[in-house]
Every structure is written in C-alpha cells, then in structure tokens.
Structure 1
C-alpha cells in the first residue's frame, strides 16, 4: 500500500499540472471512493459465507494490475526530453516547511475522520436506532457520495480556490456534529451524505495542496511524506480518539463523533492560518 499509493498520486503530478492536475486528483479520489464504496457493499454479501470469504475481495487487484500494464505508458516509451530526465535524476529532493505543515494537517485530518468507519456500528447499535447493517450502508453511502463530488473537484477548485478546503471541513463539522446528537436514523443517513461531500473535496485538495507548494523536483518525496502522514493518521486514529474519549468524556461513540466535529473546527482555523502564512511567504 505504501509503495503503490504514493506512486499513484506522484505519477499524476508528473503527467499533469494546473487545472488538469486538480481535475485528475479529483478523479483519483473518486475512483478510490468507487472502490471503497463498492467493496464495502460487497463485503456485506461475502460475510454471509464466513469471515474468510471477505478476504477474496483482494482478488480485485488482479484486473487492476492487468489494466495498469496495458494502458499506463512506460517512462521508457514516452517522448520526454532527455535533459529534463537527467535534471530530475541529478537534483536532490528536499522537504520544505510548507510541505511539512500540510503533512501535519493531513495527519490530524485522518485521525479525526476515521471514527466514521470504526465507531459507526457502535453508534447505531448503542443508540438503538439501527443495526450493524445500517452502519455499513451509511458508510457505503459516505464513500459513494464522494465520487461525483470528487469528479467536480477540479471545477470547484478553479472557481473557489483556497477557500474550498475550509468549506469542505465545515461540511465534516456539520456531519459529525449531527451524528453525535441525533437519535434519528434518517438524519444519520443525511449526515453520512454531508460527510461524503466534505471528504470528496478535502482529500484531493490535500494532495493538490502538497503538489502546489512542493518544489517541482521534490513532488515524489512530498507526496510520499503526505501519504505516510495519512497512513499514520489512519493507524493511530483508534488509539488517539479512544484515548481522548476516555480522558475527556465517557468514551461513548457519540462523544467520539463530537470530538471529531470539534477537531475539524480547529483544523479550519489551522489550515486557514497556514494558507495565510504561505501567501505572505511567497
């Protein structure tokens, strides 16, 4: 995962720039949502054959490998200027302060986002408003909503600019806040849709932001650091969020969702401050 995920994003940064880069990063996140959403729904069916059957979902990697080999152009076959290739090889990649700041934002973002997946079943069941199947459906909707949203990311980024990120975080504040307070299943479904909109805009913006501030010859390294931050955030999320929940509150799933909502409010101010800082330092 650490190998191909970072290359998937950095290859887009190699092949595209400007509005095309924004559009392609939106497509990349949309396809990730397609895979996540479809597989979440498929897993519910596979589990009826036993927990071992769920792992058969990984056979989907086989057609992906075949399609990559057939359609993604090889660097050796591309008509690229030799001088540019030589320059890229000779230039030492470095990490700048802006890249590190954005990596920290992405790390925090995923720590407070991921309870959407592992706390949702507990939330639905503990409130007595649904079943684990409802929780799976809500999460599937959350990921699937990100598909059309991510496809429109390039257009929205071109129109709204840097303010798109605080707006996406505001959607997540509203979604997580609703989940923490409601006892109505329909509102939980609505909150899942709102969170899907925020997620579908925030993730490609994060990759786009990294590509914009990184030195052109260091995009690969910057993207790798960003993905490491994301993966570490996902990995540490249960430890951090459960720890905060037990330390600050009763540790119940609705209070964890409330902590996430407050965390996204904090990220709005932090990300806006970083944007102002980067604008002044240019």
Structure 2
C-alpha cells in the first residue's frame, strides 16, 4: 500500500475493496420477492418472473469479460466506480416500476454494472497489497461477501412486509461503497500503485533468481488451469447445494427445511474459512489448494453416506471451512502470477469459469448421479480425485523446476 496513506485511510480503502465483493453476490438477495411479483405480473409465466435472478447472472458473465477492455480505456478505479454507479441506479428501479419489461431490463443493467465492477474487487486487492496481507484480504473478501449478502437479504426480507417493491430499496446499501470508492480509494495508475506492484514483482523475480528459479508472469496456461479448476469446483459445490434437500427427503433423513438449515451452516462455516485463509496460506502455501479440496471432497462424500441430521451438519461445517480456502487461493495466485496491467483481464477470465460452473451445475448433477445421494457422493469423490491430481502436479512441477507454480 502507498506509504503516503495513514492507517485510517488504508482501512477505508480495505473496507471499500472488501465491500465491493458484496455487490458481486447481490443478485439473489431479492429472491423472496418472486411470489409477490408473480401476483402483480399475473400475465407472465413463473419462468419469466424468475428471470429477475438469472438474467443478472447472464449479463454479469458477459460484462466480466468486457471489464478488462474498459479498464484499458479508463483505468481500474473509474471502471469500478462506473460499475458501482450503474448497479446502484439500476438495482432500485424495480422499487418504482410496475412495468415488467422495465423491471427485467433494469436487472439486466444491474448485471452489466456488477460485471464491470466484479473483477476489480479482486485485482485491486492484488495491486494495492502484497504478500501475506494480500492473502489475508483475499480470504476476508469471501467472508465479508457472505456476511454482507446475508445482511442485504435480511434487510430485503424485512422490507418485504411493505410489498415486493420495497425489498428492492435494500440495494441502497451499494451507495456507501460507491462513496468510499469515489473519495478514498486511490487511482492505481495515477498514484503509483501499479508501479509499486511492478517493483514488488521485480524483487520476487530477483529473489527467485538467487535460488536458481525463474518466475514466469502472465502465464496463459496457468490461467487456463485456474479457470478449469474453479469451473469444476463450482459444479461440484453447486451440485451438493442443489441436491442436498432432495437427498434429505429421498433418503428419509429429514425435511427440506433441515437441509436448508444444513446449507446455512455451510455458509456460516465458509465465513470462518475465509478469515482462516491468510494464516493457512502463510503456513502451507501451494498445498492449501489440494488439502482444502480433498478435505471438502471427503466431507461431501461422507455426507452422502450418512443418515443422521446432526452428523451431516457437523460434517457440513467442516466441509464449509475446508472448501472455502480453495477459491481465495486461486485468486491470490492469479494476483501473484500476473502483472498489474493484465490482472483485471485474467481475473475476469477466471470469474467466467466460476459463473459457468454455477450455471451448468444442474447438468453436472445429471451426469454425476441418477439419484440425489449418488450425485452428492460422486461430487465428493470427484473433488478427492481432483485433489490427488493437484498433489501430483505440484510435486512434478517442483521437481522439474517449472517456471510457473500452481
């Protein structure tokens, strides 16, 4: 971080960057409005009503890829502000409209804004911070996103008593983040943060050279590996999430409500895991990735073999903590292995892999098993296999002195 900034200003920057991650996951906070909207828009099918969530994801995916091109034209800070401004304005339009086309169009525009800002939530942490602090913040970002989304969902639920329109005012919580970005986050290109990041990477290369190693930056092959990896992880995770209620009911373990409680426990555990990532990364480095995946996979597999709600919920908590270490690791490594100029684009590519994994997970569930139990168990087993492959790859790369490390 810039030495010119006071500790107080630095914390404002950290809060701004972390709160930007809340925007990333905000599309679903108004899902509870769907029944009310179905009554208002009685001429529309339920499938069309449910587009209020899914259409956001489509446009997020598109504009995540376009974000890098916008950054090249106007810079990282201005792109983040543009995305936040678009999201803040478009998100509250449904609160003031009874026109279904206007509501759906505003949700599409919300996806555009989120897509533009989303990659900057990650790449700007990589530009402003280094080493263990960067890793710690990468872990915090997923934890804060979970907490922030939960708060927005709670606020939307409370506002819902005044009608479904009122729930959309919960998006006014975007405004503090926008203000923080405008007034407190430095421009990376103009204030020398990019230059400092380049100098830091030059030090890393020099240190590696003394040890007889060569560090390769902007490795397209490595980014492809991370993209495929996060794509697969999101498929396995979402198959577990989607199939869990059906698994509870089909296997006579419990009710769908108990399954929902179990998934809430997983989400709470991921917040804990997010805060633990920094210390874990400092201690284990690249082994965090396969260890987190193998432990998460074992837990999911064991859940598929269990028939006790309490047992499943205990294992689910362990699974949430373990699995939540993998995603921060991937984005930390993207920041470490790319130059500041290309980090936004490469981050966007990996995020597309994440979004596609979530989107295609229902098809993944069909492939993984005919029943919910089979799908859950095979999702866990697939993670175990993936972790073993990663362990082998890390060992081979270390022994061969590869320029890029996982």
TM-score by structure 2 length?
0.59
Q: For 1:129, what is the secondary structure of its paired residue?
A: coil
**Contact 1:41 1:137 survives alignment (8 Å):** no
1:28-85 per-residue CA deviation (whole Å, 9 max, x = no partner) reads 1111222355567778878899988876665543444344445433447x63279779
**Contact 2:368 2:379 survives alignment (8 Å):** no
1:80 corresponds to 2:192: yes
Larger Rg: 2
**Contact 2:135 2:332 survives alignment (8 Å):** yes
Q: For 1:114, what is the secondary structure of its paired residue?
A: helix
**Contact 1:146 1:196 survives alignment (8 Å):** yes
Change (3 A) 1:46 1:79: closer
Aligned residues: 271
Change (3 A) 1:45 1:73: same
Q: Residues 236-251 of structure 1: matches in 2 within 5 Å?
A: 236-245=360-369, 251=370
Following the alignment from structure 2 to structure 1, what is the Cα–Cα distance between the partners of residues 344 and 330? Answer: 15
1:254 corresponds to 2:373: yes
Q: Residues 1-282 of structure 1: matches in 2 within 5 Å?
A: 1-38=114-151, 58=171, 60-75=173-188, 79-80=191-192, 96-245=220-369, 251-279=370-398, 280-282=401-403
Question: Structure 1 residue 21: deviation in Å?
Answer: 1.1
Q: For 1:124, what is the secondary structure of its paired residue?
A: helix
Question: Structure 1 residue 110: deviation in Å?
Answer: 1.0
**Contact 1:40 1:136 survives alignment (8 Å):** no
CA RMSD of aligned residues (A): 3.2
Question: Structure 1 residue 234: deviation in Å?
Answer: 1.0
Change (3 A) 1:172 1:48: farther
Change (3 A) 1:171 1:243: same
TM-score by structure 1 length?
0.82
Instruction: Pick 1 or 2: higher relative contact order, CA cutoff 8 A, min separation 6.
Output: 1
Following the alignment from structure 1 to structure 2, what is the Cα–Cα distance between the partners of residues 12 and 236? Answer: 29
| Residue aligning to 2:85 | none
**Contact 1:98 1:278 survives alignment (8 Å):** no
Identify the range of structure 1 (139-148 vs 223-232) with the bigger mean alpha-carbon deviation: 139-148
- Structure 2, unmatched stretches of 5+, are 1-113, 198-216
Q: For 2:323, what is the secondary structure of its paired residue?
A: helix
Change (3 A) 1:234 1:184: same
**Contact 1:41 1:136 survives alignment (8 Å):** no
Change (3 A) 1:270 1:210: farther
Following the alignment from structure 1 to structure 2, what is the Cα–Cα distance between the partners of residues 48 and 124? Answer: 31
Change (3 A) 1:37 1:266: farther
Following the alignment from structure 2 to structure 1, what is the Cα–Cα distance between the partners of residues 195 and 367? Answer: 52
Question: Structure 1 residue 146: deviation in Å?
Answer: 1.7
Change (3 A) 1:253 1:57: farther
Change (3 A) 1:48 1:255: farther
Following the alignment from structure 1 to structure 2, what is the Cα–Cα distance between the partners of residues 63 and 40? Answer: 17
Identify the range of structure 1 (146-155 vs 127-136) with the bigger mean alpha-carbon deviation: 127-136
Question: Structure 1 residue 276: deviation in Å?
Answer: 3.5
